[in-house]
Amino acid sequence: MLCVRWQTENVDAYTRIADVIRYLDECHSDQPDLSALARRAQLSPSHFHRLFTSWAGVTPKDFLQCLTVSGAKQLLREGKSVLDTALDSGLSGPGRLHDLCLSLEAASPGELKSGGAGWKLSAGFANTPFGRCLVAQSPRGVCHLAFVDSSTAEAWAELQAQWPRADIERDDGEASQLARRIFTRSVSVRRPRRYALRACVKGTAFQVRVWRALLQVPPGKLVSYGQLAEAAGVPAAARAVGNAVGSNPIAYLIPCHRVIRETGVVGHYRWGSSRKRALLSWEMARAGKNLI
């Protein structure tokens, strides 16, 4: 019952809050007050304030600061220093020194050619603080994680196209347990709860290198495409790096949402720009950072 309540509350909160975020995207220069945002969510001001603060970890007023370009530029500068440190260490480790330690492995040439033949995947739909997702696990770890805004049939077809010869078994219960493990983790710097996960991805050597560079960016930090290109060892290939970021097959775990433009503009996201803003603000609130 607790798990069902967590899922229901999270999906309901995100459904309402995502619409408010879209509204703030369009009208943040007008500085809408609490009453206006509550009307947008079709809630009383007090109920909306409680719901928003419970979900985001900050008040709606503080969240509004996350939409400013000047703050984003500051976090970009901080992100550069994070990647500089990673470069000094040679990006040798496949994980990161944060509470969620993801060991990222690349599918072998044989596995790529076979399309997952001989593999049994456990996949299912689960609710998260950012809407519904489809997550799949292979014998070598998480191999797919995507937010679902369209029909579940389309999302399932995308997974099947990615691993066309694998035996995929649907298990929403197991998927929900994995989603809880991923999205209810602590990002507290003082008292982190460390979780270890494995992931296996299909990608070119270049794409995997970019994704591994992304793992060096902790919650509450941002990097630009240019900074990420430098960290990946291809400083002149920011456009190609952008394409690799957009091809990320594992949402959130490989944090492509932490990459924004040099100008400080958040920009596009494979699973929606409003969701990208929500992810960034949620992470920064829980990391105890100064909001952008």
pLDDT in tens, the chain (292 residues): 434 444 445 556 777 877 887 777 677 667 788 898 888 888 899 998 888 887 777 777 777 665 565 566 666 676 666 666 555 444 433 334 344 567 888 888 888 888 889 999 999 999 888 889 999 999 999 999 999 988 899 999 999 999 999 999 999 999 999 998 888 754 444 444 556 788 999 999 999 999 988 888 888 788 889 888 988 888 888 899 999 999 999 999 999 999 988 777 777 899 988 888 888 878 877 666 544 4
Question: Strand pairing partners for 250?
Answer: 145
Which residue spans of the chain are classified as CATH 1.10.10.60? 2-67
Can you tell me the distance from the alpha carbon of 9 to that of 248, in angstroms, rounded to the nearest whole number?
28
**2-67: which CATH architecture?**
Orthogonal Bundle (1.10)
Can you tell me the distance from the alpha carbon of 148 to that of 132, in angstroms, rounded to the nearest whole number?
5
Query: What is the model's pLDDT at position 253?
Result: 93
Can you tell me the distance from the alpha carbon of 67 to that of 192, in angstroms, rounded to the nearest whole number?
27
Q: 């503080």: which residue's tokens?
A: 62
Active site residues: 256
Contact assessment for residue 252 and residue 279, using Cβ atoms and an 8 Å cutoff: yes
Contact assessment for residue 283 and residue 220, using Cβ atoms and an 8 Å cutoff: yes
Question: Strand pairing partners for 106?
Answer: 201
Query: What is the model's pLDDT at position 162?
Result: 92
Burial tier of 167 (Cβ tally within 10 Å: 0-12, 13-18, 19+)? exposed
Nearest to 144 by CA among 154, 133, 153: 133
Can you tell me the distance from the alpha carbon of 90 to that of 167, in angstroms, rounded to the nearest whole number?
38
Which residue spans of the chain are classified as CATH 1.10.10.10? 70-287
What does pTM read for this prediction? 0.77
CATH code at 70-287? 1.10.10.10
Contact assessment for residue 71 and residue 166, using Cβ atoms and an 8 Å cutoff: no
Query: What is the model's pLDDT at position 145?
Result: 97
Residue type present at position 250: I
Can you tell me the distance from the alpha carbon of 243 to that of 229, in angstroms, rounded to the nearest whole number?
11
